[in-house]
């Protein structure tokens, strides 16, 4: 109990110091990345200005997967080591990851309409990302359905690990199946195939998204810890009277 309490305490102190810095870096990166990506970067030679959706779509997709991977890692440490902060971290990452998945799906549809002539196609990449979105929703639904917090965190951790099987499918769907969605062009064994003039603003945007996600997760974790504290305080007060 004491070590369990000590950890969130240290986390609250550390995160209070870190949070403004990470948020500031995110804002600065967006201030550089957004004009660069949406205005100064050259238009794609085939898709012209519609290719600029990429600068939102691709980082959102990366973070949708990275946050789920983070949830899976947190779920392991919550199940195996009963780490006091891990379940808070997993719970905090879920709605943000779900939001990024939704952004990825919506921007993908907006991009698909002019390029493929369809808002949606049932190819392996799109389908597996949609499944990822449903896994996120199921995870949140399970948290909401179980009142006891420890039990909810363990049940959600089991579900999260089972759902992690979908992550490699999302990643490799473009290699395993013939998809309308293009294959990977940044994280490749033989290096990125994208021209640097497009790649650099994309990487700045990806960093900006990552910092924004980190700030959101930290803030959300702080909210959960504060709420937990407030609840135990009310309980103690009620017991005293």
Residue 154 engages another protein in binding (rule: CB under 8 A): yes
Q: Which two tokens stand for residue 74?
A: 């947190």
The pair phi, psi for residue 48, each rounded to 5°, is 55, -135
Residue 44, SS3?
A: strand
For the chain, the helix, strand and coil percentages under 3-state DSSP, each to the nearest 5: 80, 0, 20
Does position 77 bind another protein by CB under 8 A?
A: no
Cα angle 150, 153, 156; round to 5: 145
- In the bound complex, what is the minimum distance in angstroms from residue 95's beta carbon to another protein? 16
Q: How far apart are CA 108 and CA 184, in angstroms?
A: 15
Q: Of 75 and 210, which has the nearer Cβ to another protein?
A: 75
When binding is defined by CB under 8 A, the residue of 32, 110, 121, 137 that contacts another protein is 137
Q: Is 221 in the site for another protein (CB under 8 A)?
A: no
- Closer CB to another protein, residue 20 or residue 168? 168
Handedness of CA 181, 54, 23, 227 (dihedral sign): negative
Report the residue from 6, 28, 80, 141 that binds another protein according to the rule CB under 8 A: 141
Which DSSP category does 182 fall into?
P
Only segment of 97-105, 106-114, 133-141, 233-241 that touches another protein (CB under 8 A): 133-141
142 binds another protein (CB under 8 A): yes
What is the b/e burial string over 148-182, where b = at least 16 CB atoms within 10 angstroms of the residue's CB? eeeebbbbbbebbeebbebbebbeebbeeeebebe
Applying the rule CB under 8 A, the residues between 55 and 74 that interact with another protein are none
Of 83-91, 111-119, 139-147, 189-197, which segment contacts another protein by CB under 8 A? 139-147
Binding site for another protein (CB under 8 A): 79, 127, 131-132, 134-135, 137-138, 141-142, 145-146, 151, 154-155, 158-159, 161-163, 165-166, 169
């Amino acid at each position: 109990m004491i070590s369990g309490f000590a950890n969130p305490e240290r986390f609250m102190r550390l995160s209070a110091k870190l949070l403004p810095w990470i948020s500031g870096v995110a804002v600065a990166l967006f201030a550089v990345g957004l004009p660069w990506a949406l205005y100064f970067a050259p238009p794609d030679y085939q898709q012209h200005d519609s290719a600029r959706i990429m600068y939102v779509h691709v980082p959102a997709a990366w973070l949708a997967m990275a946050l789920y991977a983070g949830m899976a890692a947190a779920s392991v440490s919550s199940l195996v080591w009963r780490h006091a902060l891990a379940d808070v971290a997993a719970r905090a990452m879920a709605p943000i990851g779900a939001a990024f998945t939704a952004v990825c799906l919506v921007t993908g549809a907006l991009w698909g309409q002019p390029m493929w002539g369809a808002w949606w196609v049932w190819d392996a990449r799109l389908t597996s990302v949609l499944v990822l979105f449903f896994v996120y929703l199921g995870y949140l639904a399970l948290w909401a359905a179980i009142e006891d917090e420890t039990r909810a965190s363990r049940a959600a951790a089991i579900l999260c690990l089972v759902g992690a099987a979908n992550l490699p499918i999302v990643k490799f769907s473009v290699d395993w199946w013939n998809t309308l969605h293009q294959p990977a062009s940044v994280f490749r064994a033989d290096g990125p195939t994208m021209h640097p003039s497009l790649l650099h603003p994309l990487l700045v945007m990806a960093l900006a998204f990552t910092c924004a996600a980190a700030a959101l997760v930290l803030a959300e974790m702080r909210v959960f810890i504060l709420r937990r504290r407030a609840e135990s305080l009310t309980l103690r007060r009620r017991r005293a009277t």
